[in-house]
Amino acid sequence: MQGDFALHEKMLRQLDVETLLVRNKEELNACHGLILPGGESTTLTNLLKKHGLWDELSTFAETRPIFGTCAGLIILAKRVVRNNLQPMGLIDISVERNAYGRQVDSFIDEIKLQLDKQEQCEGVFIRAPKIVTIGKSVTPLAWHKKDIVMAESGNILVATFHPELTDDARVHKYFLRKVVALAKS
């Protein structure tokens, strides 16, 4: 509906994954996993509600994984600080929107990624949110300096950066492992 879904779709297709762009409840229910892309969180929230997907996402997340990047992370969070946006509360994190500044303050820098092993990778931060706090059920997976920039809890995976804007497929592969594991159970 909104955001950088096309580059996520491109990445998934490069990994030989069949994709479906979700615009309604029926399309959502046909998926084994879902990526909520970056974009503008207020606009995306309004569109999800307008198309009857807001409540459906909570039900979906009970049995299937959701990966939220940037604005998608904001929507999935439990709290948004210094803002009146009401997120879904699917992962116990507090976030701050546009925490690094405006569009002109966007940047690319190395991040420390801890999936199967600790590695470095490129992080693209565009008007990025910042994870301010995490709950006990949340596991940090990546850091930029001292900031947590990727985390998971249960079926929910979130990142403040845009892995779809690089050629590095490690984060998407990690999400796909979650999708496959739950689809088999």
The residue from 8, 70, 144, 172 that is catalytic is 70
42-61 burial string, b = 16+ CB within 10 Å, else e? eebbebbeeeebeebbeebb
Asked if residues 118 and 112 have their Cβ atoms less than 8 Å apart, the reply is yes
Backbone angles phi, psi at 114, to 5 degrees: -120, 85
The residue from 96, 144, 152, 164 that is catalytic is 164
Pairwise CA distance, residues 46 & 149, whole Å: 25
The residue from 8, 144, 152, 162 that is catalytic is 162
Residue 162 annotated as catalytic: yes
Residue 70 annotated as catalytic: yes
Residue 164 annotated as catalytic: yes
**In 15-40, which ranges are continuous DSSP H helix?**
25-29
The residues that are catalytic are 70, 162, 164
